[in-house]
Structures are given as C-alpha cells and as structure tokens.
Amino acid sequence: MQYILDGFVEAFYLIFSFDPEIFQIVGLSLFVSLTSTLISTVIGVPLGILLGINNFRGKRTVSRFLYTFMSFPPVIIGLFTALFLARSGPLGQFRLMYTPTAMIIAQMVLVTPIIMGIVFNHASNSGYDVVQTGKTLGANRINILTLLILELKGGIMIALVTGFGRAISEVGAVMIVGGNIKGFTRVMTTFIAMNNNMGQYSVSIAMGIILMTISFLTNSILYHFSEGAKYEDRD
C-alpha cells in the first residue's frame, strides 16, 4: 500500500513543481479536445436543431443511427479514422497520421454525434413549439433561429460539456491516430496509460489528479446546466 501513498505525495510534488513537460501535455490535451468540441459544435448544433424541429419520413431511423453513433467506443473511431488517414488510405496524401490534427479529427468524429444527439433530443422536445410560437408573433427565419438557440441554450451547453468531457477523457482514439509521441502528440490520457505500463505510478497519479480536476470542473458545469434545462423542457 505504501507505493500508493508515495505516489500521491510525489504527485503533488510534481504538480507544484510546474514541470514544463506536464504543462505541455495538459495544454495539448486541452487544445485538441477544445478544438474538436468546437468543430463538432459548429456541425452538430445546427444539424441537431434542424433534425429536431422538423418532422420528416425516416426521422426515427435517423435518431436511432445517432444514438448508435453516440455510444461508439473511441478505439473503434480511432481505428476508422486511422484507416482513412493512413498513408495508403483515401486521405493519405495529407500525411496527417500521428499529428495533433489527426487527433482532432478522430475526436471530432467521436464528439459530433454526441453533441448532435443531445441537441436533437432537446430540440425534439421543445423546439417545434418554440418555432410555431415565434411564427405567431411575426418572427422571421433569423429571429426564429436566434430564439431557438436562446431557448435551447441549456440543452446546447449540456451537449458541449458532455462532448468535451468525452473527448478529454478518451484514450483509444488519440492513442491510435496520435501515437503518444513525446512532445508532439502526447496527451494526458496516453501519458497516464504509458507511465502506468512502465510502473511509474506517481506521475500517472499526478496526471490523473489533473485530469480528474478538469473532469470535475466540466461535470459541475454540466450539473449546473442540467438543473437549468429541467425547466426549459417543461411545458
């Protein structure tokens, strides 16, 4: 048991020593996951709203697909992305494999359905009523879009935070397409996995603490918005 305790002591020492390598890794993790979440937002939010507020044939099939995609394991998504980005793959000419860009792409594939699915769900519940009500008050298309975003903002925030939480904590996809290259594609989760394999528990724990702090923060934000959104969906 001693090594666990030692691990924690050393972990705190590591965190407060402000090791530049640790900083660089945390920075890259945040950069990759925030960027992928941002791109996923730009794609997923409008599409989720559009699918949610409209009734069309095959809507159920679309939502079933979305929910399936939402729960895809990161390793599988990493594998798929790798197949596309590999030298001999369809996008091989861009030489993206084992770069932060590849990691962003993989996480984007992971997160977009999550954001889209959650927004879709909220928009299906209350979006149609908001659109109809906007129309009765003379709102034009742009007014209605603004109104929808404001009315669904709780749900949209939940989607973003959930998406980001999934991205920052996943290891499978970034490991496969990033390769955990020191100083280049090494992020928190791959760093932890690697050090754990090498028996260096204290650095793993140190990074684990940082990762958990970030997770904790995102979850508190998530909790805050979920409480707010309860009222939003209510009739």
Residues that bind other proteins (CB under 8 A): 129-130, 132-133, 135-140, 143, 147, 150-151, 231-232, 234-235
Q: Packing angle between helix 128-136 and helix 20-53, nearest 10 degrees?
A: 60
**How many other CB atoms sit within 10 Å of the CB of residue 49?**
24
Minimum Å distance from CB 214 to other proteins? 29
Contact between 151 and 71 (Cβ < 8 Å): no
Query: What is the distance between the alpha carbons of residues 205 and 195, in angstroms, rounded to a whole number?
Result: 10
Question: In whole angstroms, how close is the CB of 139 to other proteins at the nearest point?
Answer: 6
What is the closest distance, in whole angstroms, from the C-beta atom of residue 154 to other proteins in the complex? Answer: 8
- Whichever of 54 and 133 has its CB closer to other proteins, that residue is 133
> Nearest distance from residue 157's CB to other proteins, in Å?
13
C-beta of 132: minimal distance to other proteins in Å?
6
For other proteins, the closer of residues 95 and 135 by Cβ is: 135
Q: What DSSP string describes 31-89?
A: HHHHHHHHHHHHHHHHHHHHHHH---TTHHHHHHHHHHHHT--HHHHHHHHHHHHSTTS
151 or 170, CB closer to other proteins? 151
Spatial contact of 45 and 142, defined as CB atoms under 8 Å apart: no
Based on the number of CB atoms within 10 Å of its own CB, is 193 exposed (0-12), middle (13-18) or buried (19 or more)? middle
Whole-angstrom distance, CA of residue 110 vs CA of residue 101: 14
Give 133 or 213: the residue with its C-beta nearer to other proteins: 133
Q: Which is nearer to other proteins, 49 or 168 (CB)?
A: 49
Minimum gap (Å) between residue 119 Cβ and other proteins: 16
Nearer to other proteins, 10 or 232 (CB): 232
